[in-house]
Amino acid sequence: MVQYTVTDADAHYLEDLGELATYLDDDDPWKERFKSTTTGEATEASGSAPVSLYPSSTGSRNVFGRIQRPEVTYPEEMGPEDIPPIMDHLGLDNCVVLSQKVLTFGRIRGDDERMNKLSKTYTEYMLDKVVDPSEGIYTMIPAPFQDPEYTVELVDEYADEDGIVGLCMITAGPEPPLGNRRYEPIYDICEKKGLPVNFHTGGAGLEEFHIKGYEEFIETHTLGFLFNNMAQVVSLVVQGIPEKYPNLDIMFQESGIFWIPNIMHRLDAEYLKRPSEAPVLEKLPSEYMKEFYYGIQPLEVPENEEHLEHVIEMIGGADRLMYASDYPHWDYDRPSVITDREFLSEAEKARILSGTAEEVMEI
């Protein structure tokens, strides 16, 4: 039996806001809001009702159909002691754990400091309590996309810390979209620091989906993650981000891979009809997209696996893919989703399971 090194490019850490609050100054008004959201009780200092830090999003993550995952309970929060058992459960050598709270940034519509405070305290907490490169445990800096200047400050402060392997930009919520010039200082400093930018999707809940009136979570979970990644990849390519920052490594996570050839060919067709609207581009949009990296989760495995084989070929081959579990979410993928694919060579399996992630994130 072949033994593979396995690097998980996208697992999630369900951080406790009460723990993050300890990294805020005592006179910071957000400290009490973090605590009250965690405990669900009025704090002595505020004397008021608890304040929820996030709008809610309906839809149970613990509903199972034909795919049974009884070991997943979608915990409220996690601690540092939970990471090694997860790695053992999945058979991981390395694990990149991303903030769970960053996935909800798309719901935050208020013009306040929530994203900034969450991003900084999460990063400090993870470096202090969780990240341990000697044990294969890494993380990324969450990007408060509404404040590009502050995001640049975070990258400047933390990019060189051991265990920081990327900047995580959520693709749900940014307006204007992420190819806009207001975000270019972020891409500039990440390129200079050699820090990959990971565009991670979000926006699957009924309340947060941009079209109102869907009635079931299955509808928006099908569309939301897919739509938000497609929207941002179109913006990044057409606005020439990969041309302007040719040494910047770009990753997209958590919307499968079957959508990628569709957008490649649709963008090419549009570009060939109206290239004047994308004057920065020096080659076809699909050629830039073949230079991006894609997390596989949730990998679509059709009955005819030749279709999956063709999709991988169309997006540039196995070198473009990174194994991602999305644990502890209910629809996570084990490494066997790759090792069981007979059409992949042993070298291709090794690249997807760890080789590419190790190179791109310098693990």
Domains parsed from the chain with CATH numbers: 7-13+71-360 (3.20.20.140)
Tell me which of 80 and 329 has the higher pLDDT: 80
Least confident piece of the model among 52-61, 125-134, 200-209, 256-265: 52-61
Q: For the segment 169-214, what is each residue's pLDDT rounded down to a tens digit?
A: 999 999 999 999 999 999 999 999 999 999 999 888 787 788 889 9
For a pLDDT cut of 70, what percent of the chain falls above it? 89
pLDDT band, residue 304 (cuts 50/70/90): very high
Q: pLDDT tens digits, residue range 250-301?
A: 999 999 999 999 999 999 999 999 999 999 999 999 999 999 999 999 999 9
The rounded percent of the chain whose pLDDT value lies above 90 is 76
pLDDT score at 211: 87
- Using the predicted structure, report yes or no on whether residue 1 has a pLDDT greater than 80: no
- Compute the half-sphere exposure of residue 246: CA atoms within 13 Å on the CB side of its CA: 6
Q: What is the mean pLDDT of the chain?
A: 90
